Structures are given as C-alpha cells and as structure tokens.
Amino acid sequence: MKLNCKSQMISLNGKLYPCTTSITMDIIGGKWKSVILYHLKDGTLRYNELRKSMPVVTERTLSLQLKQLEKDGVVYRKEYSGKPPLRVEYSLTDLGQTLVPLLEMISAWGDTLAEAGGEVVSNR
C-alpha cells in the first residue's frame, strides 16, 4: 500500500502524520539525528567515539538524540556491566540499516552543494 501526502492522516505508534515524509523526518530530522545515524552506518561506536566525531554537539543533546533514536527503533544501545567506567556501544538496528541509502543520498546532495560554493571550516 503506497500512501501519499494528499488527504489522509497516517497513524503510527500513537502519532498522527499528515504524510509519510513526515514520518521519516520525525525519525531522522533535526540537526543531529541524521549526523549520528551517518556516523553509525559503518558499524558500532562507543559513546565517546560518537562524541569525538561530533565535537560541536553538547553531551546533553547527543544523549537525548540517542535516546530518541533508540526509542524510534533505529539505534540499538548495548550496555556492558563490569568494572567502572560503564561501557556503552551504539549501532544501527535492522530498521536503522534501511536508512543507510537515504543517509548516503542526503550526504551526496550536501557534498554537491558544498562543492558548488561551500567553504570547509575545521571543527577543531
């Protein structure tokens, strides 16, 4: 069943959406969610590895965004118990893996814009 954005509302997980595009944007939209997902597309990362790969994001924001992505079922959080400090790893779920082609297309589109007139500024 293919849904569109014309006249019907879509209900998913207790939320109403005017369009299937809004479902996708609810999950990956915002400044950091797609960046987090893009960093996880190649494999599992520990929290500190994610944090270092995005030095501009605050710890609070990263933590909140990871929790939301986990709640939405696209990121898996694995906690290892044992000696402190606590070790936590994040990876894409099977559902999250289905976003990889989309994330790569979004990145390629951004590359095209940046090459057309963007300026690369070091984030360190």
Q: Which amino acid belongs to residue 123? A: N
pLDDT of residue 123: 57
Chain segment 6-33, per-residue pLDDT in tens = 667 888 888 888 888 888 999 999 899 9
CATH architecture of 16-115: Orthogonal Bundle (1.10)
Q: What is the DSSP string of 50-76?
A: HHHH-TTS-HHHHHHHHHHHHHTTSEE
Per domain, the residue ranges of the chain are 16-115
Half-sphere exposure of 23 (CA within 13 A, CB side): 16
Chain segment 31-71, per-residue pLDDT in tens = 999 999 999 999 999 999 999 999 999 999 999 999 999 99
pTM tops 0.85, yes or no: no
Read off the pLDDT band of 120 (50, 70, 90): low
